[in-house]
Structure formats: structure tokens, C-alpha cells
Amino acid sequence: TLSGSMKFLRLNKIFLDNRCFRCQLKANGDNENSGGRRLQTFQALLRLSSLIPIFLLIFLVDLSAQQSLQSSGSQGARNISKISAPLPSTFNEALPKYISFQLGSPILRTSEHIGGELLLAPSLDGISIITDNIKVNAKETNLIIEALVFLPNSSPADPFSISAQLDSLGLIFNQFSSLEGIQYWSASRKIMRTLYVESYRIDNPKSRNRISDPSTASKLKTLLSKPMYLHQKDQTFDAIIFEVHCSITDSAFLMTNNNVTPVRMIGIPVLPENGLRTGFFAAPSPNGILLYFVTSIQSPSIARDRVFESASNKALALLHWFIEKASSQKLIDPVTLPWNFDDLPVDVRVSAIPNKK
């Protein structure tokens, strides 16, 4: 860290000052008696020994800070909100047969698997747009991450307007710049880290001029008929350009995005175009929002661990981002989710379709 570097430089300067001091003692000692040399050497040792408590103090402070960072991502991470009211019948009927959001059960279901079919997609109108975008580039070696979450709303607007809800959802998902600086839990470093250091809308992949996000529903609707483009950069890979498609049906908001530039690490291609595909599906109701998220990551030929590392935690970070934005607009109640995928309870994770051979 910057503060750690500054402390090192200050200590290094003190050390060098002491070293020069000792050298000077030696030079002066050649012209003095042995008693004087012993006295000055003793004084130099006293000065050097005074640094020991400083080193110990800095070590303990840094250790305490590191432990605080580590605990910030895991303290209370196992807490997860529970279903407190029945889901609308439309949502219940659309759930996969092996998924049940019973009263008292967690609001979230997740799945992380290599290849295979999608496990959590609800059978609601428009969902095929999301699933087809994933299936078109399906490979048995792809890492697939899914999340299905019901986000309750105990105080819906009166009267409730589904069109107004859809407009609000569309605007939230289209605030590309609001993703810049969001945090995720790094599984390897055991700390919270910034996910996107850059995130903003651009005019097209060629000129890449930054443009503003839509501020009103009417401005958003003028963009829905054509592809949009997103520039993003994290702390591992070079900047990536995504092509984004959004649509609003009578009952849901949908978004798909695919990388239209290769994913590179220090200039070396890691994933090809369309090697990273993501979809969001949000269906509002007076009782809350049913949200489905899916991402498919092609297995890279090199740096596989770097590509797949913390991928599920980054997906959770996107859920946290959406929950914060939606709850601030009173579209849903504030809820609690973990930051670390490994902290999810067993009953939240779906690894395969039960009883399917």
C-alpha cells in the first residue's frame, strides 16, 4: 500500500542515517583514543536500538489492519435474508421444479458449474432472450454462474405501476458509470478489493468516446432499439469493450452483454470475442422483484486460474450493487447477502438437477 511504502521509506532513511552515523564514528575514531571510540559506538547502538519499538509498533498496526480487512469480508457473511412473505403465484409457478422459496428459506439460490444446462432460469416471458444468449456459445468447459433471488418489497407504491417499476429497473441497469469502484471479496487475498477501476458508456468500439448514461426513462427508451457499448477495466485485465442489448417487455426488464474485444492480460489475449457472456432478467411485482443473473466464461487456454478466480464473488458484488440501488429507490426492502461465495449455506447452492441421470 502507499502508506506502507511511505513507512518503509521513512524507516529506510532512519536506517541509512544511522549507518552514515556509524561510518562517521569509525572515521572520527581513527584519530581518537579507544575510550572515546567505545563511548561513541555505545551511543550509536543506543540510537539504533531505539528503532526496535518502532518496527514492532508498525508490525502490530499493519497486522491489526490486515485482520480488520479480512474480517470485514467475512464478519457476518453467513447472514442471509429469509423469505418473509409468499411469492406471487406467477413467480412460484415459474420456478424450476426443484427450487422452492418457502417461508423462512434464504432469498437466494446460486449455481456454479462447468458446462451443462442452465439450472435456475425461471420460465417467465422473455427469459429465452437471456438463456439463448448463453447457449449460443455454450461449451462443456465454460464456467457458468447463476443466481436467482427474490427481493421483497413490504411497502409497494400505491397504486402499484409495473410500467413505472420497469422504467426504474431499466435506468438502474443502465447507469454503467455507477459500477466504477464497487467492491468484491477476493478469495485469494482474503480482502475486499475494487472490482472495476473504470466503467462507463462509449459511443462505439472504434472511436470509444465516453458518453453519459441516460437520466430519464424517455432517453433510455430511445436507446433500446440499438446496441450500446460499455468500457470496463478491472485490476487484473486490460480494458474490455462489451456490447449491451436491453429490452423491456410487459412484465420484465432484460439485459445481455458480450465482450466484443478480446480479454487481454498485459496485452496477451486470454479470452476471444464473445468468450464472456452475461444476462440479467428482472421481473417486478407488488410483493418484490424476481431477479435472475447468469454469466458464462469460456475456459481460456492460458491464465485459467486468473480468469476464474473469484468469479462467483464478482457475481455477488453485482447483486450487492443492484440491491443497493434498488433499495435506495424504495423498489425493494434492504436485504443481507454474503460477499463470499464460500460462506453461502448449503441449501442455497444448486449443483445439479436432482434425480437426473
Q: What is the DSSP string of 159-218?
A: S--HHHHHHHHHHHHT-GGGGTT-EEEETTTTEEEES-SEEEEES-TTT--EEPPP-SHH
- List of residues 6+ apart from 29 with CB closer than 8 A: 36, 37, 40, 41
Residue 35 has pLDDT above 80, yes or no: no
- Residue 354 — very low, low, confident or very high, per pLDDT cuts 50/70/90? low
Q: What distances in angstroms separate CA 88 from CA 130, 284, 288, one per listed residue?
A: 22, 10, 9
Residue 15 has pLDDT above 50, yes or no: no
- Residues β-bridged to residue 291: 149, 282
Q: Report which secondary-structure segment, H or E, holds 327.
A: helix 311-328
- List of residues 6+ apart from 213 with CB closer than 8 A: 174, 175, 176, 177, 178, 201
Rounded to 5 degrees, what are φ and ψ at 332?
A: -140, 165
**pLDDT at residue 50, rounded to an integer:** 52
Residue 204 has pLDDT above 60, yes or no: yes
Q: Kind of pairing, strands 198-202 and 263-265?
A: unpaired
Going by C-alpha positions, the residue among 213, 199, 207, 280 that lies closest to residue 242 is: 199
CA distance 297 to 185: 19
Helix (H, G, I), strand (E, B) or coil at 51: helix
Residue 123 has pLDDT above 60, yes or no: yes
